[in-house]
Structure 1
Amino acid sequence: MPIRAVAYVSTACSEIAEHDAPGIGSGRLDALVEDAARFNRQAGVTGVLLFDGTRFFQYMEGPEDGLHIVYGRVLGASSHRDVIELQRGIVGRRMLPFWPMRWLPTDRAQVGVLAKADWTGFKQRGDAAAIKATGMDLVTSVVEPHLLAG
Structure 2
Amino acid sequence: MPLHAIAYCSRAVAGLTLHQVNELAKDAAAHNLIAGVTGVLLTDGNRFLQYLEGPEEGVRLAYARIINSRSHMDMVELGRSSGGPRRFPYWPMRWLPVEPEDLRIAIVSDWRGLAYRREVDIDQVPTGIERAAELVNPFIGQEPPG
Shorter-chain TM-score above 0.5: yes
Matches of residues 61-140 of structure 1 in structure 2 within 5 Å? Answer: 61-125=53-117, 132-140=125-133
Q: Give the TM-score of the pair, scaled to structure 1.
A: 0.87
Distance 1:128 1:37 in 2: 35
Distance 1:103 1:94 in 2: 18
* Aligned-residue RMSD, C-alpha: 1.9
Distance 2:133 2:83 in 1: 14
Opposite residue 37 of structure 1, the aligned amino acid is: A
Residue aligned with 1:14, SS:
coil
Distance 1:129 1:12 in 2: 35
Deviation larger for 87-96 or 61-70: 87-96
Query: Could you say if the C-alpha distance between residues 132 and 38 of structure 1 is closer, same or farther in structure 2, counting changes exceeding 3 Å?
Result: same
1:27 aligns to 2:19 (yes or no): yes
Opposite residue 77 of structure 1, the aligned amino acid is: S
Query: Could you say if the C-alpha distance between residues 8 and 49 of structure 1 is closer, same or farther in structure 2, counting changes exceeding 3 Å?
Result: same
- Alignment-derived partner of residue 8 in structure 2: 8
Moved over 3 A (4+): 124-131
Distance 2:108 2:121 in 1: 14
CA deviation map 1:87-106 (0-9, x unaligned): 01114111111300000000
* Paired-residue identity, %: 40
Deviation larger for 119-128 or 130-139: 119-128
- 1:132 Cα deviation (Å)? 1.4
Q: Give the TM-score of the pair, scaled to structure 2.
A: 0.89
Opposite residue 14 of structure 2, the aligned amino acid is: S
Distance 1:128 1:144 in 2: 20
Opposite residue 135 of structure 2, the aligned amino acid is: V
CA deviation map 1:21-51 (0-9, x unaligned): xxxxx32111111101001111111000001
Matches of residues 46-57 of structure 1 in structure 2 within 5 Å? Answer: 46-57=38-49
Residue aligned with 1:132, SS:
coil
CA contact (8 A) 1:91 1:121 kept: no
- 1:127 Cα deviation (Å)? 5.5
Deviation larger for 122-131 or 69-78: 122-131
Distance 2:91 2:69 in 1: 20
Structure 2 unaligned regions, length at least 5: none
Distance 2:92 2:82 in 1: 18
